[in-house]
Amino acid sequence: MHINLRICKNCCNFAVRMDFLEGLNPSQREAVTYTEGASLIVAGAGSGKTRVLTYRVAYLLSQGVPAGRIMALTFTNKAAREMKERIQKLVGEDARYLVMGTFHSVCTRLIRPYADLLGFTRDFSIYDTTDTKSVLKAICKEHGLDEKIYKPAAVYSRISIAKNRGISPDEYEKNSQLLREDREMRLYELPTVYALYQARLKATNAMDFDDLLINMLRLLNISPEVRERYQQQFQYILVDEYQDTNYIQFLLVKRFAEPQNNICVVGDDAQSIYSFRGADIRNILNFRQVYPQARLFKLEQNYRSTQNIVNAANSLIHKNINQIEKTVYSKKEQGQPLTLQAYMDDRTEALGVATHIQKMRHKGYNSFAVLYRTNAQSRVIEGELRKLNIPYRIYGGTSFYQRKEIKDALGYFRLAVNGRDNEALLRIVGFPGRGIGETTMKKVAVNATEHHRSYLDVMRAPEETGLEVNAGTKKKMQTFAGLIDTFHEQSDTMDAFQFAETVLRTSGVMTALATDLTQEGIDRAQNVQELLNAIREFVAQRQNEGIDYTPISDFLSEVSLLTDQDEHLEDTTERVTLMTVHAAKGLEFPVVFIVGMEENLFPSQFAERPQEIEEERRLLYVAVTRAMEQCHLSFAKQRFRNGSFSFASPSRFLKDIDRQYFSLQQSAASHQYSRPSEPGIPSFPRKPVFSTPVAPKTGPTTQLESDWKAGDRVSHRVFGQGTVNRIYRDEVTENDKIEIAFDTQGTKTLLLTHAKLERIEN
C-alpha cells in the first residue's frame, strides 16, 4: 500500500519509511537506511543499483532532510531525470527541488552566480566537442602546424587528458611524461596549442566540458565564502557510477563533502571501462583508504540475468587481480548455456548472427543486441542484416542535436546570449546568406585577434579597429551585428520558446528551410520544428517545477551537456540494436551476440600492460552481463582488416570463462567436433550451431584444395594474380592453408576453404 505524503506528511514518516523498505532485499535495505557518514555501495551488474540510489534519496527526504540539502551526481541527464521522476512518485513534489544531474550540469548551475570570480560573465558559453575541435583547428592553421599531424581530434584528446589530471598549460610544459608522449606522436607544439586554446576560450567567454569541472574546483579553492556556502548547503552527497569518475571529479566530490563527509558513492569496479576518457578505477578501489570510517555495502543479487549468464560472468571477472571481492548470484532460472561459435571469416560470422536473429524474430527485434569491440566491425554486420531485411539501429550514430540544421539554430541562440562566442558566429554568419563571405570573415578574425576583440565587436564598428572593407561589406556586417544585438535584448525579456521562435523567424532560417523542397530540405525543416517542440516542452517542464521564467540560456546549458545516451530520440520501431560494448553499459537485452572474440581485437591490440588487459576483461564482463536470457559469443578464423585478410586466433578471455557454462550441444550440420585449439576453450562444431544458408554459386567455382600444387598460377578477388608456393595440410581441424606469391601484393597465406581462387591456365 502506498501512502500519499501530501495528505499527512509529518505524521506518517515511520509508515512511509516502512513503505520504502518493502520490496528491498536485506542488503539493499541496509544500504538505503544508513545515511550518516561515508559509505561505499558496490553494486554488481543487474543488482538494482538505481533502485537503491533512488530509495536512499527518498528515505532522506522522508527523514525530514530538505531536498535542497541533497546533491546527487549522475553521468547522464537521462539517468537524473528518471531518478527524480521515481523519487517524486515516492515522496511527492518535494523531489523537484533536489540538486540532481550530471557533474557538468550541476557545476554549470553552481558556477554561473560566481562566474565573475573566475574572470567570466554569468552568460558564458559552453563549447561542445565540435566547437572545441573547430577552435583547435583554427589555432593550428594560424600557426602553420601540419594538419596531418595536428588533427583536431588528437589535439583535443591530449588536452582533455591533461585537464582530467588537473594539469594546466604552465604545468604541461614541465610534465616530462606528457611531453615524451607528445614527442612520440610528433606533437611538439602541443603545450603552446594548449595555452593558446585556453586563452581563446577566455577571450570568447566560453568553457569546454572539462573546464566546467576544473573551474568549479578552482572556485571552491579560491573563494572560502563560496566553498563554505556550498558545503553548508549540501549536507548529503551521492554519486552514481563512481568507478567512472576521474581525478578532478574525485577532488570535487571530496571538497563538496567536507567536513561532515556525509558521502555515499555507488558503483561497480568490475564495470570500470572508461580509462580512455580519464576514469580512474583507483577512486573506487581506494575509497575506504580516503574515508577509513566508511561502511561497505555489497549488492550481489542479480535481478537481470539467468544463473548461467551470471555464473559465467563471475568466472570471467574473478581472473582480475585488482578488484573488490564479491560474488554476484541470481535466483532466476538456470537458463540456457552461453554458446561459442567459430566462423571461417567475419562475413560468415555476420551472416550467422543475422540468420539466428531471423529464426528468433518472433521475440521481436528489440530483443536483440549485437555488441562489438570497435565501430568498424558494424559494416559487415549491417550488410548481412540488410540482405535478410532485418531492421536495425546503430546506437551512437549522429544524434539529433549534432545535426547541422540544429547546430545552426542553436548557434543563433548562443550568439544572442553571448556576443563573444566566435564559434557560433562563424557557424551562422553564412546561413541564410548575407553576402558576408569567407574572405571577409578571415579579415575579421585576424583583426579581432590583433585587437583582442570579439568578431561581433569588429563587425559592429570596423572603423574602430581599422578593418578595411568596402562600404557595401561594412553595411552588411553592421546589419548582421544589429540583428544579433536585437536578439540579445530579446533574450532577457522573452521565455526560451518565444525567443527561439522569434529568432528563427526573424533571422530568415525558417524561410530558407521552407524554400528547399527536396526530401532532405523537408527533413531539415521538420528537425528545426522538432527543436522548437523540445524548447516548448522544456519551458513547460520548468513551469511544472515552479519556475515561472525560463531564459534561452537555461535550455542551451541543458543541450550543451547532453551525453550520448541522452541524445537518442524515442524510436518505437522494432529494430536490432548494434553498438560497441562501451555504448552498451547500463543497457540490457534478452538476447546478446558478442562478435569478434579474437586476439588483437578483444582484447584490443593496444592493450599491453596488465592493467589494460584487466580493463579489457572488465569490458567483456559488461558485455556478457547485458544479456538477460541468452548470450552468444563468436570469433572468426580470418578477418578482413586494413585492406586484407589476416588470420585470427580465439581471444584469451574465452579461457577465462568456465567451460561448464558453455553449450556443447551437437550441431545439426555436423556430429563431429574439432579438438579445442587451446586448453580451457570449449570445443565447438566445425559448422555454426545455427546453420548458415549458402548462397547459390555463380561464375567460376572455387578450386578444390586437393587440386592445387606448387607452381600453379591463380587469381584472387582481392590480391590479384599470383603463384602457389606451397600447401599446408591440417589433419586435425581441416583448416588447410595455401601460400601464394602475388605479383603485386607480396606473399600471403590464406585458408584454402575460403580463398576462392581461380586457376589461370598457362
Catalytic residue status for 50: yes
Catalytic residue status for 739: no
Report yes or no: 634 and 342 within 8 Å, Cβ to Cβ: yes
Question: How far are the Cα atoms of 15, 331, 684 from residue 25, in angstroms, in the given order?
Answer: 18, 12, 40
Q: In which residue are the cell numbers 585492406 written?
A: 643
**Of residues 189, 240, 405, 421, which has the active-site annotation?**
240
DSSP letter string, 124-182:
-EEE-HHHHHHHHHHHHHHTT--TTTS-HHHHHHHHHHHHHTT--HHHHTT-HHHHHHH
Mark out the alpha helices in 509-609 (DSSP H runs).
509-514, 519-544, 552-560, 581-584
Q: How many helices (H) and strands (E) does the chain have?
A: 29, 23
Residue among 733, 741, 735, 689 nearest 713 (CA): 741
**Of residues 271, 348, 377, 580, which has the active-site annotation?**
271
Q: How many CA atoms lie within 13 A of 68 on its CB side?
A: 5
Strand partners, 715: 721, 758
CA distance 175 to 166: 12
For the chain, helix, strand, coil in percent to 5 are 50, 15, 35
Q: How many CB atoms lie within 10 A of CB 651?
A: 24
**Of residues 189, 208, 241, 349, which has the active-site annotation?**
241
CA distance 528 to 409: 7
**Of residues 137, 158, 626, 639, which has the active-site annotation?**
626
Residue among 555, 540, 208, 213 nearest 416 (CA): 555
Mark out the alpha helices in 204-331 (DSSP H runs).
209-222, 224-233, 247-257, 282-285, 287-290, 307-317
Catalytic residue status for 240: yes
**Of residues 50, 88, 498, 721, which has the active-site annotation?**
50
Residue among 147, 150, 248, 132 nearest 192 (CA): 150
CA distance 699 to 320: 51
Residue among 680, 746, 665, 735 nearest 705 (CA): 735
Catalytic residue status for 271: yes
DSSP letter string, 346-384:
HHHHHHHHHHHHHHTGGG-GGGEEEEESSGGGHHHHHHH
**Of residues 49, 427, 460, 617, which has the active-site annotation?**
49
Q: How many CB atoms lie within 10 A of CB 560?
A: 22
Residue 344 burial by CB count (10 A; 0-12/13-18/19+): exposed, middle or buried? middle
CA distance 739 to 726: 5
CA distance 384 to 351: 5
Q: Residue 329: in which H helix or E strand, if any? A: strand 329-330
DSSP letter string, 626-692:
TEEEEEEEEEESEEEETTEEEE--B-GGGGTS-GGGB--PPBTTBS-BPPPSSTTSPP-BSS-SS--
CA distance 467 to 204: 20
Strand partners, 633: 340, 594
DSSP letter string, 45-88:
TTS-HHHHHHHHHHHHHHTT--GGGEEEEES-HHHHHHHHHHHH
Q: Residue 99: in which H helix or E strand, if any? A: strand 99-102
- Sign of the Cα torsion 579, 582, 585, 591 reads positive
Stated length of the chain: 762
Q: Cell numbers at residue 639, please?
A: 578477418
Q: Show which residues are catalytic.
A: 49-50, 240-241, 271, 626
